[in-house]
Amino acid sequence: MKKFTLVELVIIVAVVALLAAMIHPMLAAAREAAEEVGCRDNLSRMGKAAAQYATDSDGWAVTGYLGRGIGNWFAVFEKNYQVDKKAFQCPAETNYAFNSKQLNYGLNVLTFGETFGNGQKKVPHRVDEISKFGRDAQLIMFIDTPPVCDAYNGKIRNRAGQAAYYESTSPVAPKDSAKAYYPAYVRHADRANVVMFDGHAEPLSYQQLTEERAKYCNPCVKQWRDSNLAIREF
């Protein structure tokens, strides 16, 4: 058997290293693309669960907290609409737990309400009334959000707030949101995945979430009050 010379071994090692350097970015890009697709699939499931919730609730849209003994929106989705707990974890995120502070997705509470009642952020509404604004395909319902945990504390925001909620008035993580309560999180190559009110999922860029936020987050609570739309009574 022929033995390799030192020069030949050096050439072989160099070729292998070159191939590895070429393949690694391709594998990383493929992994990131798969994670983003998986993330949008998770959000699509939440959009379907929200639509089913509205059907079961006589046309009332889901809100953040659905009442004592019922719980937050994600607990209801998991219990009543077969959305597995793993679906609330973005494939690109390692910090996750099935609770309001470490979820990886948040509900747009400035549109859909944080809890039941008549005060600020406390106004669930009927689906048909939301649709009167004609923005179903551009109205964010759920979006990528960062967890509230030690890994993010001081880097994205303080320990306040909940990951299960999103406020369009908050800065966008991780660029400019160290003190934000409910920020979106552009965890996918400067994009955040969202599911719109009509049920389709898509990515939105940092620029879209900052410079064009009104396009994707109105109508809002103030418009509900100004328009005298019906508020669910409990």
Q: What is the pLDDT of residue 234?
A: 33
pLDDT tens-digit readout, 122-161: 566 788 888 887 889 999 999 999 988 777 766 676 556 7
Look up residue 143 and give its amino acid: I
Q: Which residue has the higher pLDDT, 224 or 230?
A: 224
Stretch 73-83: mean pLDDT: 96
Q: What is the pLDDT of residue 233?
A: 38
Question: 170 with 207: CB under 8 angstroms?
Answer: no
pLDDT tens-digit readout, 11-25: 777 788 777 777 666
Task: Give the model's confidence band at 1: pLDDT under 50 very low, under 70 low, under 90 confident, else very high.
Answer: low
Q: What is the DSSP letter of 125?
A: -
Question: 50 with 141: CB under 8 angstroms?
Answer: yes
Q: What is the pLDDT of residue 173?
A: 87
Which residue from 203, 199, 198 is spatially nearest to 187, judged by alpha carbons? Answer: 203
* Angle formed at CA 107 by CA 101 and CA 112, multiple of 5 degrees: 135
Q: Is the pLDDT of residue 69 over 90?
A: no
Parse the chain into domains and list their residue ranges: 6-225
- Structure tokens belonging to residue 142: 């759920």
pTM for this predicted structure: 0.82
